[in-house]
Copies of this chain bind each other. A is one copy, B any other.
């Protein structure tokens, strides 16, 4: 069938979709989200069809979202040839999963491949996630999913051993241990090619924070060069396309805050696997107000990670940490980067320092280092880690002469003072995140919150509990407004 192109001036956000009229759909016996092949000269592409019931797309027309018109280089009124294609096989496997079946490696790979290549629509991906959520996933399925995500993305291929990595379950503001662990272990000669996320729901991801010191968007080739030179890096995983299936799964999961455990495990481990990690330290912060609320859940999660790690040929060790309050004092890219430099300069917040050294030492002992805590602490306190940090900053094209006192934080500031004396009995991570984001983080690098207190600290009336920083007045106002409507700190007399 010949149809005339009508360009739709927007992208579908991923899936390849074309819209045809109900009339033409009936002729081709197509239902919504059936597949068609669009052919123009020698180019062809298979897309899902949406069916226009009103006047959106008329008989004889085909509406193309930007993704499709770009791929085929089509303009308004180009004539294309349309024919019916079978639906992707992966849909059968999605149905199988919904029906409670177990998927094998080939089936999982087919689904992931189709997701990566934009052959599945949001509705179809939702069915996959629903199946995984409601029927659960075996650890084997999670392992297949991890491998499929890795195989359908790029890989770092360093050909070295061992390769160290770490992961923290998110949800705790200021938890920037990565930026201290890496300088320590790489200063000791180990390889740690860390890819991090940007903020999704948090104030700042490691990538956002490190970006205040050096660029974090590097190609796979550049990262190999950086690693060969300095042993470690802190880059944004997104720029490398290591795990693009993952982003698409996350989008659909977030819509009703589903986080099917099997997918979450695969999503995290795929990022480790794609850099070739052999030893991973996993931080599971737990406690009221964090993602993992009880130690029981934390332990169950640890077991799954560790078993799954074995299936994937990765050694994983876990640390349980305090998830009830921020780590360090700064929250927001620049404020966190300053904390990190302060720790490396031996002036920093003690909780961040201690946690980082502990994690570094666990990682080191996994690869056979004796007295690892003492050694890690020595490397940090002797300034070797700071020196290494500057090398990494330089290798990533940042300014190696940076010091903690040169970091610029937002010049607009609002101090929140204690309305009463008492003891700090509760800190709301959730509301801290809201306020810091309202202040402009992570886009405005200097925006965020500086915290002066920890749980169980005694406070005096009018003592500054925390300060909100913003880069402009409007955002500070907005953050104050959010602050006024939310409870951040619970002080009991």
A137 to B11, CA, bound (A): 37
A464 at the interface (CB under 8 A from B): no
A200 to B22, CA, bound (A): 10
A323 at the interface (CB under 8 A from B): no
A182 to B438, CA, bound (A): 64
- Asked if B10 and A63 make an inter-chain contact with CB atoms under 8 angstroms apart, the answer reads yes
A130 at the interface (CB under 8 A from B): yes
User: A100 contacts which of B19, B126, B134, B201 (Cβ < 8 Å)?
Assistant: B134
User: A130 contacts which of B27, B50, B130 (Cβ < 8 Å)?
Assistant: B130
Beyond A255-B33, A437-B27, whether A127 also contacts B124 by CB under 8 A is no
- Residues of B within 8 Å of A254, CB to CB, are 31-33
Instruction: Choose among A10, A32, A258 the residue with the greatest number of B CB atoms under 10 Å from its CB.
Output: A10
One of A91-99, A217-225, A389-397, A401-409 contacting the partner: A91-99
Look across to chain B and name the residue whose beta carbon is closest to the beta carbon of A130. B130
User: A126 contacts which of B26, B52, B56, B126 (Cβ < 8 Å)?
Assistant: B126
In the assembled complex, the CB of A352 is this many whole angstroms from the nearest CB of chain B, namely 25
- Asked if B26 and A255 make an inter-chain contact with CB atoms under 8 angstroms apart, the answer reads no
A122 at the interface (CB under 8 A from B): yes
How would residues 20 to 39 of chain A score, 1 for a CB under 8 Å from any chain B CB and 0 otherwise? 00010011010111000000
A257 to B99, CA, bound (A): 13
A251 to B53, CA, bound (A): 12
User: A131 contacts which of B50, B95, B134 (Cβ < 8 Å)?
Assistant: B134
A54 at the interface (CB under 8 A from B): yes
A9 at the interface (CB under 8 A from B): yes
A103 to B224, CA, bound (A): 54
Look across to chain B and name the residue whose beta carbon is closest to the beta carbon of A435. B29
A123 to B130, CA, bound (A): 10
- Residues of B within 8 Å of A304, CB to CB, are none
- Residues of B within 8 Å of A410, CB to CB, are none
A133 at the interface (CB under 8 A from B): yes
Look across to chain B and name the residue whose beta carbon is closest to the beta carbon of A33. B255
A297 at the interface (CB under 8 A from B): no
Oligomer copy total: 2
A31 to B8, CA, bound (A): 24
- Asked if A252 and B440 make an inter-chain contact with CB atoms under 8 angstroms apart, the answer reads no
A50 to B254, CA, bound (A): 12
Look across to chain B and name the residue whose beta carbon is closest to the beta carbon of A26. B443
In the assembled complex, the CB of A253 is this many whole angstroms from the nearest CB of chain B, namely 10
- Asked if A252 and B95 make an inter-chain contact with CB atoms under 8 angstroms apart, the answer reads no
A105 at the interface (CB under 8 A from B): no
- Residues of B within 8 Å of A100, CB to CB, are 134
- Asked if B126 and A256 make an inter-chain contact with CB atoms under 8 angstroms apart, the answer reads no
A135 at the interface (CB under 8 A from B): yes
- Asked if B98 and A130 make an inter-chain contact with CB atoms under 8 angstroms apart, the answer reads yes
User: A98 contacts which of B94, B122, B199, B258 (Cβ < 8 Å)?
Assistant: B258
In the assembled complex, the CB of A480 is this many whole angstroms from the nearest CB of chain B, namely 15
A438 to B475, CA, bound (A): 60
- Residues of B within 8 Å of A251, CB to CB, are 32
In the assembled complex, the CB of A243 is this many whole angstroms from the nearest CB of chain B, namely 16
A13 at the interface (CB under 8 A from B): yes
How would residues 441 to 485 of chain A score, 1 for a CB under 8 Å from any chain B CB and 0 otherwise? 011000000000000000000000000000000010010000000
- Asked if B437 and A255 make an inter-chain contact with CB atoms under 8 angstroms apart, the answer reads no
A170 at the interface (CB under 8 A from B): no
- Asked if B95 and A258 make an inter-chain contact with CB atoms under 8 angstroms apart, the answer reads yes
- Residues of B within 8 Å of A40, CB to CB, are none
- 18 inter-chain pairs at a CB distance below 8 angstroms, sorted by A residue, are A8-B9, A9-B9, A10-B63, A11-B54, A23-B443, A26-B437, A27-B437, A27-B440, A29-B438, A91-B256, A95-B258, A100-B134, A121-B255, A122-B123, A123-B126, A127-B130, A127-B256, A131-B134
- In order of increasing CB-CB distance, the 3 nearest A-B pairs are A130-B130, A126-B126, A33-B255
Chain A interface (Cβ < 8 Å from any Cβ of B): 8-11, 13, 19, 23, 26-27, 29, 31-33, 50, 52-54, 56, 63, 66, 91, 94-95, 98, 100, 121-124, 126-127, 130-131, 133-135, 199-201, 251-252, 254-258, 433-434, 437-438, 440, 442-443, 475, 478
- Apart from the given pairs A8-B9, A122-B126, 16 other A-B contacts in the complex at a CB distance below 8 Å: A10-B19, A10-B56, A11-B52, A11-B54, A27-B478, A29-B433, A29-B438, A31-B200, A95-B256, A95-B258, A98-B134, A98-B258, A100-B134, A126-B127, A127-B255, A134-B134
